[in-house]
């Protein structure tokens, strides 16, 4: 089939290469056109075979996955999905890979997460199909730690942003979202007077390490949300994997609620759950952002926020790895501003 998605599988484990290959090829839309057991071979095969998508292990002999990734992004940019082992070191390396240009990641089969092989296989096939046509920029420059830039001159320069704001920011994203969120959080100015709540579709076990990564890169205090965390200015909360988050007001204070519940819009955490709670609770004092990701999670919720008088922002198609959730939100009429990723921090600041 000429329209099959061509995938290169890179892993030093023969068993993992077979599991990944068999899983991918169980979908007739996907064809594994080659495999490599180290990064050096992978770089050569990318040039020879011209795959649509690459799955990439991190720890490999001869040339590791991060070095191979940087070479591919710099010379022959392709969508790369990392296979990640759930350990502290593995998570750190994974988020470094996202800074270097990988579009997304999945837990590696055998990783210590509460996902079955079938779950991981379905996740991998879905991501391969969603990123196969994404535009990957040819740059290997990672985001810099704590490089907060001035995101606007008027009306609110960072030095002026000291008084607490009654507004709350909600951000929802999925495929391609971790790298996009790193960009946004790196560019939120100091003294930010509001709180940010984030739903990123991410496997259970990785969200704490991701929150720590954002915290290290940002002037905000970022943490994985815990039930009854108080919503305070200058703080950001990331929904834990496999848990919903919402906002609750009690005695003139706001709190994050963390709970399991049923999947909503096919997801847990669900962006719609967060956005619905913001529409009902903070209403017109909400700034909601929907970014790259497949499907439609968040599109209904952000429309409710707009109807409640809140301000709504969508990442544009050109800078999205997958123009899905944000496209549906735009089509529903739920968006005030459609802007490139680089403009999202500025828009947030303007509305705050």
Active-site residues: which are they?
174, 201, 297
Give dist(CA 161, CA 179) in Å, integer: 26
| 3-state SS, residue 178 | helix
Taking alpha carbons only, the member of 57, 52, 34 closest to residue 44 is 34
Give dist(CA 256, CA 172) in Å, integer: 15
Listing DSSP states for 280-295 in one string gives: HHTGGGEEEEE-SBSS
Give dist(CA 117, CA 131) in Å, integer: 21
Task: Report in angstroms the alpha-carbon separations of 139 from 76, 77, 136, 142, 247.
Answer: 10, 8, 9, 9, 38
Taking alpha carbons only, the member of 228, 227, 197, 222 closest to residue 210 is 222
Task: Report in angstroms the alpha-carbon separations of 349 from 13, 68, 165, 210, 215.
Answer: 47, 37, 11, 23, 19
Taking alpha carbons only, the member of 27, 35, 26 closest to residue 7 is 35
């Amino acid at each position: 089939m000429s329209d099959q998605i061509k995938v290169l599988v890179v892993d030093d484990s023969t068993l993992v290469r077979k599991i990944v290959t068999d899983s991918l090829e169980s979908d007739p839309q996907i064809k594994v056109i080659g495999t490599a057991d180290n990064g050096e071979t992978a770089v050569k095969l990318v040039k020879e075979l011209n795959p649509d998508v690459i799955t990439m292990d991190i720890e490999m002999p001869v040339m590791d996955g991060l070095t191979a990734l940087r070479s591919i992004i710099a010379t022959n940019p392709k969508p790369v999905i990392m296979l990640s082992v759930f350990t502290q070191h593995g998570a750190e390396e994974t988020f470094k890979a996202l800074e270097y240009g990988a579009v997304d990641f999945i837990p590696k089969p055998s990783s210590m997460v509460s996902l079955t092989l079938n779950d991981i296989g379905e996740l991998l096939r879905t991501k391969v199909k969603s990123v196969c046509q994404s535009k990957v920029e040819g740059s290997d420059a990672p985001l810099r730690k704590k490089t907060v830039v001035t995101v606007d001159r008027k009306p609110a320069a960072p030095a002026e942003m000291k008084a607490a704001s009654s507004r709350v920011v909600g951000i929802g994203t999925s495929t391609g979202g971790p790298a996009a969120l790193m960009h946004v959080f790196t560019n939120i100015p100091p003294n930010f007077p509001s709180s940010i709540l984030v739903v990123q579709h991410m496997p259970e076990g990785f969200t704490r390490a991701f929150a720590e990564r954002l915290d290290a890169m940002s002037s905000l205090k970022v943490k994985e949300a815990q039930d009854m965390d108080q919503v305070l200015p200058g703080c950001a909360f990331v929904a834990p994997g496999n848990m919903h988050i919402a906002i609750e007001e009690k005695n003139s204070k706001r709190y994050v609620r963390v709970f399991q519940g049923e999947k909503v819009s096919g997801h847990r955490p669900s962006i719609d759950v967060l956005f619905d709670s913001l529409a009902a609770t903070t209403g017109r004092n909400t700034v909601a952002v929907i970014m790259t990701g497949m499907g439609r999670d968040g599109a209904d919720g952000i429309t409710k926020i707009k109807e409640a008088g809140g301000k709504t922002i969508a990442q544009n198609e050109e800078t999205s790895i997958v123009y899905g959730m944000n496209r549906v939100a735009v089509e529903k009429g739920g968006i005030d501003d459609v802007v490139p990723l680089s403009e999202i921090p500025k828009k947030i600041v303007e509305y705050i």
